[in-house]
């Protein structure tokens, strides 16, 4: 019987403090989910560490529903739409035994796409001097190239009192403030993640 949901997430830097801060950001980002206390967020730092920890804990936590959440780092093949296939092609990662596509989720092409999906929050967070005109206008933020995401945020925020976008300094706070509905509407893979979590939380409730 599945007893909890464990999400192994890329990011958070190397220090405990940085990981704690980003974990809190993700906790707030998932706040709309019912019974979110069943979700355990594990910030893993490096991308490869997230995959390693995920694989290790498939055996350590057999009664949990384990999820790997990493940046796609590139466009996802629209024909396959399989996250494991994407990671195999890009990173050479083999899908572990006993898991399926619901165990793997992608931030496409990086987490910064989620921030660009909610320009109103960016404006509120950075305040005066934020250059909204430099943010790409698109209904699907996953089409924005990886190399343009962080660069665009840095340019748009460079003349604000908070200074240019910095992943360690700003990402956790932005996650806490994001309008999840806007992000889900602009990011199909984010919507997929929330649908999976809601479905699994419902399953846990039915089993209890």
Query: How many H helices and E strands in the chain?
Result: 9, 4
Angle between helices 16-29 and 167-177 (to 10 degrees): 20
Q: How many residues does the chain have?
A: 208
Q: Model's pTM, two decimal places?
A: 0.94
Return per-residue pLDDT of the chain as tens, 208 residues.
567 999 999 998 888 999 999 999 999 999 988 665 689 999 999 999 999 999 999 999 999 999 999 999 999 977 666 999 999 999 999 999 999 999 999 999 999 999 999 999 999 999 999 999 989 999 999 999 999 999 999 999 999 999 999 999 999 999 999 999 999 999 999 999 999 999 988 766 555 5
CA dist., res. 132 & res. 37, Å (int): 36
Domain boundaries, the chain: 4-111+187-207, 112-175
- Give the DSSP letter string of 114-169: HHHT-HHHHHHHH-TT--GGGS---S-GGGS-HHHHHHHHHHHHTTSTT-S--HHH
CA dist., res. 33 & res. 53, Å (int): 24
């Amino acid at each position: 019987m599945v007893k909890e949901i464990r999400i192994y997430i890329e990011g958070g830097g190397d220090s405990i403090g940085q990981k704690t801060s980003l974990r809190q950001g993700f906790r707030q980002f998932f706040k709309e989910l019912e019974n979110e206390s069943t979700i355990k967020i594990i910030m893993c730092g490096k991308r490869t560490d997230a995959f390693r920890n995920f694989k290790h804990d498939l055996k350590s936590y057999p009664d949990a529903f384990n999820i790997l959440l990493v940046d796609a780092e590139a466009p996802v093949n629209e024909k396959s739409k399989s996250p494991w296939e994407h990671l195999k092609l890009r990173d050479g990662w083999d899908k572990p035994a006993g898991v399926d596509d619901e165990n793997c989720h992608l931030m496409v092409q990086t987490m910064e796409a989620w921030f660009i999906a909610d320009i109103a929050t960016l404006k509120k967070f950075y305040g005066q001097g934020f250059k909204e005109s430099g943010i790409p206008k698109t209904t699907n933020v996953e089409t924005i190239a990886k190399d343009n995401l962080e660069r665009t945020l840095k340019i748009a925020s460079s003349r604000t009192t908070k200074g240019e976008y910095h992943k360690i300094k700003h990402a956790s706070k932005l996650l806490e403030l994001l309008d999840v509905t806007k992000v889900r509407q602009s990011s199909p893979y984010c919507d997929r993640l929330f649908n999976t979590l809601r479905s699994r939380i419902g399953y846990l409730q039915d089993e209890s």
